[in-house]
């Protein structure tokens, strides 16, 4: 019960990595607000442990929506201990193929969303001089990957913002870290391979890209999040934890 009695908020908790984090945090004793653009998906996540997980609709791109989510969380539970900025979207284009609205939408979810959630979470954390922020970045924020122009740029921003937040609030008792997963076996990746002419071969190519020869499981990213959220990581802030089956070690 590494998160006994903690109040956690996970964005994008209706699917994949966010759902696995919500479930793992609840199993570790936390009360979890599972927030997602897709309300039924958030409700499905909450059905795993209805006494510990509360679904809430949010669009992380939208300031009023994020403000309402944080106001609801603090009003209902009195505080927020852990914020996981997981909601994210990707695109599959190089820069010359990317339209401005697509670029801006990726940044609205992946970067503005992190900004807004932190902006409205921080006052409660600062008042209590305690808090943990975990941003879900990506290997794509650390290296260039073909066909991922907007995505790589947005995740690079998340990586650097993580370090800035860690330094800015280290004296306030707030820790901020980033998890950079490799390719994770989530509904997102299922959708990506389904777009390919040969989805089976496309999936095999993604598996082969990682030295372990397989995709990362959402539960393995959730285990990293559990560590960073817990007191076991009390001395860890500003770190970038890569969970990639060895991809970046090559
Ligand atoms: N799957 C991977 O291989 C992989 C690798 C590295 C990083 N990531 C990152 O992990 C995070 C989760 O990815 P996933 O694979 O679980 O994706 P997913 O598509 O399975 O789940 C993403 C969830 O975010 C929600 N969401 C999307 N836009 C939103 C918005 N505007 N407001 C609120 N919620 C919104 C979706 O409804 C969905 O439930 C993302 O930030 C992604 O960039 C994923």
Looking at the CA of residue 221, tell me the nearest atom of ligand 1: 10
Q: Give the residue-averaged pLDDT of 47-53.
A: 97
Q: How confident is the model over 72-100, as a mean pLDDT? A: 98
Q: DSSP secondary-structure letter at 112?
A: I
Would you put residue 121 in left (φ > 0), alpha (ψ -120 to 50) or beta?
alpha
Opening angle at CA 151, ends 148 and 154, nearest 5 = 145
Adjacency order of strands within the sheet including 53-57: 53-57, 31-36, 7-11, 82-85, 131-136, 174-181, 240-243
What is the CA(171)–ligand 1 centre distance, in A?
31
Please work out whether the CB of residue 58 comes within 6 Å of at least one atom of ligand 1: yes
Domains along the chain with CATH numbers? 7-181+218-237 (3.40.50.720), 185-215 (no CATH)
Catalytic residue selected from 120, 151, 169, 227: 151
In this prediction, what percent of the chain has a pLDDT beyond 90? 100
151 noted as active-site residue: yes
Distance CA 232, CA 217 (A): 22
**Best residue for ligand 1 mutational test, from 24, 88, 138, 162 (most atoms within 8 Å of Cβ):** 88
Probe target for ligand 1 pocket from 186, 206, 210, 217, with the most ligand atoms within 8 Å of CB: 186
Name the nearest CA neighbour of 94 among 155, 156, 148, 153.
Answer: 148
73 lines ligand 1 (CB under 6 A): no
Residue nearest to atom 23 of ligand 1 (CA): 12
Contact (Cβ atoms closer than 8 angstroms) between residue 131 and residue 29? no
pLDDT at 78: 97
Mean confidence (pLDDT) of the chain:
98
Does residue 138 have its Cβ closer than 6 Å to ligand 1? yes
Instruction: Please write the tens of the pLDDT for every residue from 139-155.
Output: 999 999 999 999 999 99
Kindly report the protein residue whose alpha carbon is nearest to atom 25 of ligand 1.
12
Q: Is 117 in the pocket of ligand 1 (CB under 6 A)?
A: no
pLDDT of residue 245: 98
192-250, pLDDT tens digit by residue?
Answer: 999 999 999 999 999 999 999 999 999 999 999 999 999 999 999 999 999 999 999 99
């Amino acid at each position: 019960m590494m998160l006994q009695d903690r109040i956690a908020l996970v964005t994008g908790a209706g699917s994949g990595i966010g759902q696995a984090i919500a479930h793992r945090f609840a199993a570790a004793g936390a009360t979890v607000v599972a927030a997602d653009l897709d309300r039924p998906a958030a409700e499905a996540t909450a059905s795993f442990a209805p006494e510990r997980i509360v679904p809430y609709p949010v669009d992380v791109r939208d300031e009023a929506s994020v403000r309402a989510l944080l106001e609801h969380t603090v009003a209902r539970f009195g505080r927020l201990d852990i914020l996981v900025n997981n909601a994210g979207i990707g695109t599959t284009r190089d820069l010359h193929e990317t339209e401005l609205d697509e670029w801006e939408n990726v940044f609205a979810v992946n970067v503005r969303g992190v900004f807004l959630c932190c902006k409205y979470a921080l006052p409660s954390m600062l008042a209590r001089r305690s808090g943990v922020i975990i941003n879900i970045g990506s290997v794509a924020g650390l290296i260039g990957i073909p066909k991922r122009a907007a995505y790589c740029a947005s995740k690079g921003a998340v990586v650097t913002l993580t370090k800035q937040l860690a330094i800015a609030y280290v004296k306030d008792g707030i820790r901020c870290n980033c998890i950079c997963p490799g390719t994770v076996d989530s509904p997102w990746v299922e959708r990506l391979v389904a777009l390919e002419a040969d989805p089976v071969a496309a999936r095999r190519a993604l598996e082969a890209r990682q030295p372990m020869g397989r995709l990362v499981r959402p539960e393995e990213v959730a285990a990293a999040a559990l560590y960073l959220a817990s007191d076991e990581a009390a001395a860890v802030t500003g770190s970038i934890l890569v969970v990639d089956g060895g991809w970046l070690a090559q």
